[in-house]
Amino acid sequence: MKILPRPEAFAREALILIGGALLAAFILSKFPKVRAYIDTNTKGGGCNCN
């Protein structure tokens, strides 16, 4: 039983994660209304959620 993935699979998944983070940062920087929406609907904003 192999626990660790092959290096190719690991590299592919790492690139997907990094690409997703960069894409999210780009979208949030270009669309401030999206960032405001996220802030108001999460703990980071004015939510009184418990």
28 part of a folded domain: yes
Query: Binning pLDDT at 50, 70 and 90, where does residue 45 land?
Result: low
Tell whether 29 is covered by a domain: yes
pLDDT in tens, 8-43: 999 999 999 999 999 999 999 999 999 888 888 887
Distance CA 13, CA 46 (A): 34
Domain of 11? 7-40
Half-sphere exposure of 27 (CA within 13 A, CB side): 11
Q: Please, which residues have CB within 8 angstroms of residue 23's CB and are 6 or more apart in sequence?
A: none
* Residue 48 located in a structural domain: no
* Structural domains counted in the chain: 1
Which pLDDT does position 47 carry in this prediction?
Answer: 55
Q: Are 39 and 45 in contact (CB under 8 A)?
A: yes
pTM: 0.65
H or E element, residue 20 = helix 7-30
